[in-house]
A and B are shown apart, each in its own frame.
Chain A
Amino acid sequence: MSTQPKQVRGPVRIVLVDDHRMFRTGVRSELAEEAGAAIEIVGEAPDVEAAVKVIRETRPDVVLLDVHLPGGTGKGGADVINGCYGVETEAGAPVRFLALSVSDAAEDVIAVIRAGARGYVTKTITARDLGTAVRRVADGDAVFSPRLAGFVLDAFGAAAGEIAEVDEELDRLSAREREVMRLIARGYQYKEVAKELFISVKTVETHVSSVLRKLQLSSRHELTAWAMGRRLV
């Protein structure tokens, strides 16, 4: 059988971390229905301590991580990410985190993203979109909801016209990154963004990952002070 090496990879192994059992059950059955054998749930945890333990034992590809969790030092999802620092999958890739939340409060979202999560989606997301987001994060790409994109535009001053002169600048978005963020905020899928800007999907993914890096590393005061004072609604 001659298949491309990419498809040889087994199912995406994920761990569900959420303190609501009902929500875990719901996601489990939805993902089973939607993705079938492509996604395998290898563990569940209701709080920070149990999550760190399960993740260290199972070494999953992706952790679906609730932003608000009991236990730890009270920082919820961010505590789990910090507690799993350096854990790798069997294939040698880092364990990746996708934050899930009902709250759009900026400080919550920004806290998990800056702790190292690869993306953020709200709990109202459809099963199909969640499946796509999980696969994308497993591949090392970033996942932005329209709301997170809107927040990024605001926080980096891009909505007010601030544009980085060089791409490497951490405190501002480049013109291209701004365009990508605006289209995501408008509800475009990566594929549609690519078509709209006449670039490849891979390039869109690169731009989004670069924005995620800036979001994680930037010391722009808006990201710390601004996020605390104002809510992302």
Chain B
Amino acid sequence: MPTPYERVASPADLPAPGRPPLTRPVAGRWVGGVCAGIAEHLDVSLRRVHLLFVVLAILGPGIPIYLFLWAVTPSSDTGGERRDPGALRAVTGLGESRWGMFVAAGGLLVLVGAVVGLQLAGVDVRAGVLLPLLLIAVGVTVAWSHLDDAERTKWLGTQQQDRGMLWLRLGLGTVVAVIGILVLTIRGGSLAEMGDALLATLAVLMGAALIAAPWVVRLWRDYREEQEVAARANERADIAAHLHDSVLQTLALIQRRSHDPASVTQLARAQERELRSWLYAGPAGSDETLASAVTAAAHDVEDHSGIVIDLVVTGDRPLEEHGTALARALREAMLNATRHGRPPVTAYVEIGPTGVEAYVRDRGEGFELDDIPEDRLGVRASILGRMERHGGTARVRRREDGTEVELTLPPLEGDD
């Protein structure tokens, strides 16, 4: 049933029909996957895109355009195949990025070679400008690849050793880019001038950092706050959805059945139990213990009979065959108490090193074991017989005020 709080997938989450989002596919990428992504996005052949980029690169703007697209387009492994992060990273992620690095390094060498070659051949391609520009491009690429990976690790779960790698890459990229800028600015100058320029650059950078710092800090804090608010809103929506599906439904039912006190009590009790278990959920895997088995049995009887059973359990042990038998016999005893006795029905189970003792008590007229006809299997077979088969005992005592059934089990073997 949809609730007003349920999150509906926003249009942005849905792939636009007919046009896949612009991403850089992991499979089949040569360098950064930009061309493949564009081909997929615009539904044109990959070869054409490659051709276009080669032409553009020769004309000039190709490489900056490529780098720009590469930096701003998310890799598709962050969106599509989040499911199996380990495998993805191991098989494709690393392999592809290494392959890409080879291609990039090769391309770079060819470019440098071409520039130097042309310059030496006498054609003026202004190597003094081009080479530093290339250097800057490499630095920026190395630094920006950090962003790409940072995003990836965010999805795959942060890995500590990768973190160091990322910072190293960022630092290295910055250094290379700064050297490129220096070389560009002091073309042909002396070493002393270079020192001065370096100082000036550093001063400018530090000044900029100082001016920008408060703003960056506030931006970061705002971002964190926004994230927290979103998380809280999510949690609220979860709680609201749960309450809507459980408590509100039950309250509506109670209003409609207000003329029937028995079913109102039953509904209220069942809802109380459900809410409690949701609020105070026990540790994981707790449903395989004797305590939880007898608790489940008591809840079951409550649901059947509509009579509240006050169950107290102390201690616990793993659930095995004998424990299961005890839980079943206890269930039968509680059913008897709700049928033949009067409330309040109380049950107490003590699980200790000397064995298990369980008591079910009601306030009714009670019954004598000898009064029970032979053909009534309830007490004889499901309580007495069952306990004896499992090495335990069962006793029915009629008290002044009601009846008490007592069940015992010996301790588990291996226990003291």
Contacts and interface: CB of A to CB of B under 8 A. Distances in A.
Interface in B335-359: 344, 346-348, 350-354, 359
Contact of B352 (A160, A187, A188, A192): A160
B287 interface: no
Contact of B346 (A159, A161, A187): A187
Interface residues of A, number: 20
Decide if the interface of chain B is mainly helix, strand, loop or mixed: strand
Given A186-B359, A187-B344, A233-B280, A149 B354 contact: no
Contact of A182 (B350, B351, B361): B350
A146 B310 CA distance: 8
B314 interface: yes
Contacts of B276: 233
Contacts of A213: none
Contacts, number: 55
A182 B359 CA distance: 10
Contacts of A231: 280, 282
B228 interface: no
Interface string B390-404: 000000000111001
B315 A159 contact: yes
B348 A159 contact: no
Contacts of A161: 352-354
A105 B279 CA distance: 11
B350 A153 contact: yes
Contacts of A147: 310, 312
A154 interface: yes
B308 interface: yes
Contacts of B353: 160-161
A159 B310 contact: no
Interface string A179-223: 000100111100010000000000000000000000000000000
B181 interface: no
A186 B346 contact: yes
Contacts of A233: 276, 280, 295
A2 interface: no
A159 B361 CA distance: 20
A4 interface: no
Given A160-B315, A233-B276, A186 B352 contact: no
B348 A105 contact: no
A186 B280 contact: no
B351 to A, nearest CB: 7
B403 to A, nearest CB: 12
A7 interface: no
Contact of B348 (A124, A160, A182): A182
Interface of B: 276, 280, 282, 295, 308, 310, 312-315, 344, 346-348, 350-354, 359, 361, 399-401, 404
Interface of A: 105, 124, 126, 146-147, 149-150, 153-154, 159-161, 182, 185-188, 192, 231, 233
Query: What 8 A-B pairs have minimum CB-CB distances, sorted nearest first?
Result: A187-B346, A150-B312, A159-B314, A186-B348, A231-B280, A154-B314, A159-B315, A185-B348
